[in-house]
Chains A and B, each alone.
Chain A
Amino acid sequence: MNLNRKRYLSFAVHRDGPPVTGKQLSTAIWKSLLSLYGEATVSDTRLYLNEFDENSGLGYLQCNLYRLKHVIAAAALIESIDETKVSFEPKKTSGTIKALHRMKSQFLLLL
């Protein structure tokens, strides 16, 4: 069994306040993970923020398949980033980033 399998997650960050940068969001998720699950879990997550649009709040992240649930739970429990109140909404998970891009383009066509 390959323990390093990746999963990509598309998400939306709803906010009440000034926009948050990708760096701020990434740090907030890491901190929440560390607080909730501890260092051992954090070391396995391989969390990386691939893309994040500050204005729309849409983005993709990648992490270890077996830690995806932990990452989502930790991100969902983030209440605020600096002075901005946020709500993290996981949207779709996929094994490849290409599939997520395809879903995003279909979503944009619907708008």
Chain B
Amino acid sequence: MKFINFIGLLLLSAAFLNLTSCSDDDSDDPNTENSQENETDETDEDAVSDSISSYALWVITDTDDFSGLLMTTEDIPEGEVDPTTESYSLLGAARSAGISYGNAIYNPSNTSGDVGIQKFAYENNALSDEGFISVGESRFTFEVVSDTKGYYTDSERSRTAIQTFNPETMARTGEIDITDSINKYLTDDVSYTRLGSFMIENEGYLYTQVFYFNESGLHAFDSTFVAVFNVETDELVNVAIHPDYIWLGFERKNPNFIGKAENGDLYLASLVGNSTDQAHSRCLRILAGETQFDSSWKLDYNDIIGEEGSYSLGGPAVLDGKLYIRMKASGMATDYSNYTDEDLYAYEVDIDTQEATKIEDIPASSASSTYSVSGPVVMDDKVYFVVSNSEYQGYYAYDPTTGTSEEAFSFSGGIPSQFIEINE
């Protein structure tokens, strides 16, 4: 059997992730109830009790050029949904894992497919163009932390600074340069650096990853570096280091790989890691209000399936002390021979015991389409899992209180790419 060297896949991910999607959002993260609370706290106190939820769905229709549709709905859909009606057409929709903040959606590309932060105002179940900030590289990540402050990465502007923007005016406002702090770790092996892959705000801190690449395009160190900023002062407060390199998040789709618990703890997951072992999925934790990794907790997905090559395409969502993830039931074969198997299942993992349970009544998906990494989302105390296989496209809702699932809604076609809640 041919040996597959997974090392470089980290770098390769860069190329691929250019084509996939989206930014992240933490305080707006629809994956958790807590994020909704944070967001509304920061935006409009009066709106909290009167907030009305609407929903947005991204559907990829053509993987040849990543085009697709963005549709909104006032209620969680039921039955079969035809995304070709009442939808917003997006070029480059595969990049889209948009986030919601206030009554707007922020998408990592505009309708023409230009890369950048596109603000769509949401009103009366309709979207309108509220401004666009162009980003010079196809892979970037962003976050909105208040009505007037947001952050994003743009390696074409700088590989050692993050950019700031005003979501109200949708204009860039400046950058936070951390060159000195990054260069502190430079060695002769480092060929170039980059910031990004994920970006999330939590408890007043903004977190994003720092990469150090060597000439081969591999990460130069077997360590994970995360820059931590104070969003009040816009100052770097720490570079958190975990002694195992993991490519956290999923670039523009990072909301699907970052989960925030009700107590504010952050769970950061990824598909791939260092070059010394076979690619597999892992999850790290940063406790609420902390600027360092929680060294006492780490989840290795190989332990869940009991073999090498664990492969997760979405999650964790966090609810009541449980993580919810989508993962292949068996490890990815080193020659990818089981790559197209439809064995991507929903799992529930106890955070404390790390005991995992396969949710059997949710149909399996195929891992063959990494265009769809729509992660589990928590809405109305239920966890919504995407199901995408050759026969079916839609979402199932899992009720943790009963331990049962049922079909929420299906699509007449297309690949579900993202499902979020909009808070008006």
Partners in one complex: no
